[in-house]
Amino acid sequence: MTLRRRIALVAGATRGGGRGIAAELGAAGATVYVTGRTTRNQQSEYKRPETIEETAELVSELGGEGIAVQVDHLQSEEVKALVERIRREQGRLDILVNDVWGGENLFEWNKPVWDHDLDNGLKLLRLAIDTHLITAHHALPLMIENRGGLLVEVTDGTAEYNAEHYRLSPFYDLAKVAANRMAWAHAKDLEPHGATAVSITPGWMRSEMMLEHFQAKEETWHEATKIQPHFVISESPRFVGRAIAALAADPQKARWNGQSLSSGGLAKEYGFTDIDGSRPDCWRYMREVMEQDKPADATGYR
């Protein structure tokens, strides 16, 4: 699998899934523009230590070319300038990954709309929906200049799962359902141009924030199962990155156009594994084990 001479933009690549996606596109040889708001000189309101420069350096260490660009994807002019830079420097865009999120500190678990902080909820929607539409508006005209482009909308939960489950709050629920629908809608517009759009969800991802919550590190993540036994099904951020890299390299990827995909599902299709050599199938595990109140046991699910 190779993505050499392919140009990618991972919007929202400071940490978590975005960093894992950028890393695996780089490992496949792509040139990857990684964006976010936190740099070594300036932090976002998250007050997190991860930076876009670190992500870009990881991309380059793995064999690609990482280019860090500080962008607030709510600001249309900043996104426009980013795409103009990509056009000027590369002349093309082959892969767009919309991974902007930033809502972890804004949603309140299991609260109806009348009890949820309204300002936080509306900001969450702007971060999850407006950023993706702004980025698509500016970047897709460059992508469709060459056939074979790929747009990936990153979300939480497949369309099937989200249609049957209430996701934490009305605001979070809407945000995650919207990304699946956006990919479906973009697919209709992109198909005549020979481009493909999909949505993809990781499983229970071991992001930096999730590992901190369980007081663990990637190297020692199994220790977190003492706190939450079902964490046994978790996956690294690189797993969803490998899913997108495999998809981008597939000359027949148009067969997925408009579909809602998962890292575990694509692992079965393309044969890749997580960094530990396993293939966690989180969404099947959630239905068949967690929701059935069975004891935590990932046997047969990774």
Helix (H) or strand (E) holding 88: helix 76-90
- In order of 30, 165, 195, the CA distances from 11 in angstroms are 15, 27, 18
What is the pLDDT, as a whole number, of residue 207? 94
pLDDT digits (tens, 9 = 90+) for 81-97: 999 999 999 999 999 99
Q: Which pLDDT band holds residue 56 (cuts at 50, 70, 90)?
A: very high
Domain borders along the chain are 7-212+237-281
Backbone Cα Rg of the chain: 18
What is the pLDDT, as a whole number, of residue 214? 92
pLDDT digits (tens, 9 = 90+) for 123-145: 999 999 999 999 999 999 999 99
- Look at residues 142, 39, 158, 147 and name the one whose alpha carbon lies nearest to residue 96: 142
- Are 154 and 97 in contact, with CB atoms under 8 Å apart? yes
Which one of the listed residues 33, 161, 172, 285 is annotated catalytic? 172
What is the pLDDT, as a whole number, of residue 153? 98
Mean pLDDT, to the nearest integer, of 66-80?
A: 98
d(CA 34, CA 95) in angstroms, rounded, equals 12
Cβ-Cβ contacts under 8 Å for 32 (sequence gap 6 or more): 8, 9, 10, 13, 22, 25, 26, 56, 59, 64, 65, 66, 67
Token digits of residue 19 = 């960093």
End-to-end CA distance of the chain: 23
Residue 30: phi and psi, rounded to 5, are -75, 155
Q: What are residue 67's DSSP bridge partners?
A: 33
pLDDT digits (tens, 9 = 90+) for 28-37: 999 999 999 9
Mean pLDDT, to the nearest integer, of 197-218?
A: 94
Domain 7-212+237-281: assigned CATH number: 3.40.50.720
d(CA 53, CA 34) in angstroms, rounded, equals 8
d(CA 210, CA 77) in angstroms, rounded, equals 33
What is the pLDDT, as a whole number, of residue 70? 97
- Look at residues 25, 9, 21, 15 and name the one whose alpha carbon lies nearest to residue 62: 25
Mean pLDDT, to the nearest integer, of 112-116?
A: 94
pTM value is: 0.96
Active-site residue, 172 included: yes
What is the pLDDT, as a whole number, of residue 44? 83
Q: Which pLDDT band holds residue 147 (cuts at 50, 70, 90)?
A: very high
pLDDT digits (tens, 9 = 90+) for 271-288: 999 999 999 999 999 999
What is the pLDDT, as a whole number, of residue 50? 87
Q: Is the dihedral of CA 123, 129, 96, 241 positive or negative?
A: positive
Cβ-Cβ contacts under 8 Å for 20 (sequence gap 6 or more): 236, 237, 238, 239, 240, 241
Cβ-Cβ contacts under 8 Å for 80 (sequence gap 6 or more): 138
- Are 68 and 56 in contact, with CB atoms under 8 Å apart? yes
pLDDT digits (tens, 9 = 90+) for 230-270: 999 999 999 999 999 999 999 999 999 999 999 999 999 99
